[in-house]
Structure 1
Amino acid sequence: MHVVLAGGGTGGHIEPMLALADALTRRSTAPGGTPRVTCLGTSRGMETRLVPARGYDLRLIPPVPLPRKPTPDLLRVPGRIVRAVSETRALLTELGADVVVGFGGYVALPAYLAARRAGVPVVVHEQNALPGLANRIGARVAARVALTVPGTPLHGGVHVGMPLRTSITGLDRAARRAEARAAFGLHADRPTLLVFGGSQGAASLNRAAVGAADALTAAGVQVLHARGPKNTDVAVPARPAGSAPYVVVDYLERMDLAYAAADLALCRSGAVTVAELSAVGLPAAFVPLPIGNGEQRLNALPVVEAGGGLLVADADLDPAWITAELVPLLTDPTALSALAAHAAAAGTPDADERLADLVLDVATRRGTR
């Protein structure tokens, strides 16, 4: 069985794609043995680095960027689609694809259309609460549609959750806490706030957290703050001897250890971030990105409504909010424990296996027709 996965451009598309690839390659008892996996991407995306590093075959197809607003570039889209679909269809035939799984974005659209022309069934996975154009089109031709967020408006969608790396879904935060805190130079027993704004950091989170540094550490709360590698101006003076530390790093290579070290996170609410935090049972104060279509707020709502986190608008996040809302929470072990339990209850740590089941069912049904 040959499964072709289409997801590229951003980590939000690539990470769930690779998590599914891992789940599929663990299925030695699948019909015909362990499925073969090929990933589709373009030369301009992060997939050129991430996919080969995980040991998977990457085949490149022409990208089809879809403008969010009417622009002159929109006139070029039909020609780009025709070329991309033609090349992708030839590739699917060459590979002998049994099913195509798409994760949205400019790689997925030509894959969906090519699969339909080649008679190959399609499975769509949508990561966000508001689907993008590629997945809205893909859902119309798909055999199955899988959702990360319940209630996402795609016809026929079923909730499976977000496929994640097993290093995250298998994380025992309590068992790894001492090791994780030692790795970052943190105290073993102090309440810990994790601050991060994605791989590049987030200016509003950086400003608010640094501004609240004195209030946090004076209350005995230690902080692990990933500022982003370009934000070298973000710094906190060394704390007095015996005080709670405030540790600033450029980037977190080991998110599993960062999650294990923390009691609460202050972060954006991208789909992968929300899914990872709930999968490991780490509550968060979510600060949705203030641009776009509002999808980050919707991503966080199920966890927040389940009692597993807080939601604060980017415009409302400042040192005073952190002092008033997060310091009392971080110094209340009972409240933190309740938040963590609700966050874990909202997670779907087996989403990779659930999506693999769905994909293999579609491919097997095709093989028996």
Structure 2
Amino acid sequence: MNDPLDNPADDPMDNLVDNLVDNAAGDAVKDALSVVLAGGGSAGHVNPLLATADALRELVPDCNIVVLGTEDGLEARLVPERGYDLEFLPKAPFPRRPNAAALKFPASMRRAISRAAEVIRGADADVVVGFGGYVATPAYLAARRTDTPIVIHEQNARPGLANRLGARFTEHVATTFDTTPLRGARVVGLPMRTEITELDRAALRDEGLSHFGLRADRTTLLVFGGSLGAQRLNDAFPAAAAELRTAGVQVLHLTGAGKAVDVPEDDDCPYVTREYSDRMDLAYSVADLAVCRAGAGTVSELTAVGLPAIYVPLPIGNGEQRLNAADVVAAGGGLLVADADVTAEWVRETVVPLVADRERLDQMSAEAAVMGTRDAAEVLARLVLSAAGRDPA
């Protein structure tokens, strides 16, 4: 008869230990937090999603995070670059009018819901977090089908259709603005990347001036219309370049992809044009005043860093941009002007005197900073943990 000690592989005690280890490993996997994040299409959805993902990883380093997106949205590039798993859903946009697309919508939505449910089950998700956009609706409906808790973040003052629908399925609703009409919502602000939330404008000013080729002895006006630019701004400000220079105001003008403008060079008072910059932290650091659109991300970033602004809401859509800027304008941290009123003459009569008024700019900066929120990503991440039944402390 063989002694088990002669063959360690057959030792009953080793088998018992192996079973205990396997069971412990299984329990650890089961206890690991798993989160599915849904949002995509535009930077307005993708950026707060990524900021929240980063905050979750900071709070729960072993958190499993899967992102639902579309193949042709910004998330297709940005999410993998940040190191998160991305699963694609077929697009199923709500039809705005009765047409051929409307006839295909029910089948498209069913496919998107089925795929979202497959991802949620595959990830063994504890919670689904939606930020609006095309993928949010099927994600919410799939979460309901799989009995998975839902958390919603709405970035705009006027909520989109997806988040209005999703808010009917959950009590865990967060917003950027306190004027957003979603029942039971908690105002947390907009989750933003740490380059903005931890920005010290004064400390980075010299680096920003060098980066953009600007002078330290000039007042700086920042003009930008988002990644696609704003034609109204691109027409008005170059036409008033001479008056801005006479007033000692240098300009950093981000014109938008494919929308370059031509302004004569002047080393004494530069007018720097770039189609795009991936260093908005440096752009904010050099600016004394901004003129820009009023997307939720723009308003939230400018208030977070205390930069006064003249907001020019996009003149199309549902009017959400005007509402996004309403609170900071009411507080005195910004001005609001209609797109049609932005002309070279308006720049000369309104912008030039304002950017030369240091006392007023300082006051506007202080009021903007009061309205800003820098900890929204962490606050939302803790709300996600709570919805998932985890201790958010």
Aligned to 2:129: 101
Report the Cα distance in structure 1 between the residues aligned to 2:102 and 2:369, rounded to whole angstroms.
Answer: 43
2:104 equivalent in structure 1 = 76
Shift of 1:366: 11
SS of the residue corresponding to residue 349 of structure 2 reads helix
- The residue that corresponds to 2:56 in the other structure is 24
State the Cα deviation string for residues 239-278 of structure 1 (Å, max 9, x = none).
2xx6321111121121110110101111111111111111
| CA contact 2:39–2:69 (8 Å) conserved in 1 | yes
Runs of 4+ in 1 over 6 A off after TM superposition: none
Question: Per-residue CA shift, 1:163-222, capped at 9, x if unaligned?
Answer: 000001110001111211121111113110001111121110111111111111110001
**CA distances 1:340-369 after superposition (whole Å, capped 9, x unpaired):** 1111111111110111111111112699xx
Contact map agreement 2:354 2:361 (CA 8 A) in 1 = yes
| Alpha-carbon distance between aligned partners in 1 of 2:229 and 2:117, rounded to the nearest angstrom | 39
1:317-353 superposed Cα distances (whole Å, 9 cap, x missing partner): 1111111222111111111111111111111111101
Question: Is the aligned partner of 1:228 residue 2:260?
Answer: no
For 1:77 and 1:172, locate their aligned partners in 2 and report how far apart those are by CA, in whole Å. Answer: 48
TM-score for the superposition, normalised by structure 2: 0.89
Q: Distance in 2 between matches of 1:24 and 1:81?
A: 29
Q: 1:237 aligns with which of 244, 249, 264?
A: 264
Q: Which moved more, 1:335-344 or 1:321-330?
A: 321-330
TM superposition shift of 1:76: 1.9
- Which residue does the alignment assign to 1:199? 227
Deviation (angstroms), 1:69: 4.0
Instruction: Indicate yes or no: 2:35 matched with 1:3.
Output: yes
Matches within 5 A, 1:261-300: 261-300=286-325
Task: State the secondary structure of the residue aligned to 1:26.
Answer: helix
Residue of structure 2 in register with 1:305 after alignment: 330
The equivalent of 1:127 in structure 2 is 155
> Is the 1:129–1:295 contact (alpha carbons within 8 Å) kept by the matching residues of 2?
yes
TM-superposed deviation, 1:238: 1.6
**What is the CA distance between 1:70 and its match in structure 2?**
4.3
Instruction: Please give the secondary structure, in 2, of the residue aligned with 1:266.
Output: strand
User: Take 1:34 and 1:301, find their aligned partners in 2: how far apart are those partners?
Assistant: 40
Matched, 1:154 2:179: no
- After superposition, give the CA deviation of every residue in 1:82-132 in whole Å (9 maximum; x if it has no partner): 111112112211110000000011110000000001010001100111111
Alignment partners' CA distance in 2, 1:206 and 1:346 = 28
**C-alpha contact 2:171 2:184 (8 A) present in aligned 1:** no
Q: Secondary structure at the match of 2:65?
A: strand
Pairing partner for 1:317 from 313, 331, 342? 342
For 2:247 and 2:225, the matched residues in 1 are separated by 23
* Matching residue of 1:211: 239
Given that residues 385 and 391 in structure 2 are in contact (C-alpha distance below 8 angstroms), is that contact kept between their aligned partners in structure 1? Answer: no
Distance in 1 between the 2:53 and 2:219 partners?
37
Change (3 A) 1:105 1:332: same
Aligned 8 A contact 1:226 1:252 in 2: yes
SS state at 2:128 partner: strand
2:271 is the counterpart of 1:246: yes
In 2, the alpha carbon distance for the partners of 1:94 and 1:252 equals 38
Residue in structure 2 matched with residue 45 of structure 1 by the alignment: 73
Q: Which runs of 5+ in 1 are unaligned?
A: none
Alignment gaps of 5+ in structure 2: 1-32
CA distance in 2, matches of 1:68, 1:26: 40
Instruction: Report the Cα distance in structure 2 between the residues aligned to 1:167 and 1:34, rounded to whole angstroms.
Output: 23
> TM-score if structure 1 supplies the norm length?
0.95
Distance 1:70 1:309 in 2: 41
Structure 2 CA distance for aligned equivalents of residues 343 and 177 of structure 1: 19
Task: Please say if residues 219 and 250 of structure 2, whose CA atoms lie closer than 8 Å, have aligned partners that are also in contact.
Answer: yes
Residue 21 of structure 1 aligns with an amino acid whose one-letter code is A
Q: Is the 8 A contact 1:24 1:34 kept in 2?
A: no
Percent same amino acid among aligned pairs? 57
Total equivalences in the alignment: 360
Q: Distance in 1 between matches of 2:50 and 2:330?
A: 29
Matched, 1:349 2:387: no
Q: 1:261 to 1:358 in 2, by over 3 A?
A: same
Shift of 1:23: 0.5
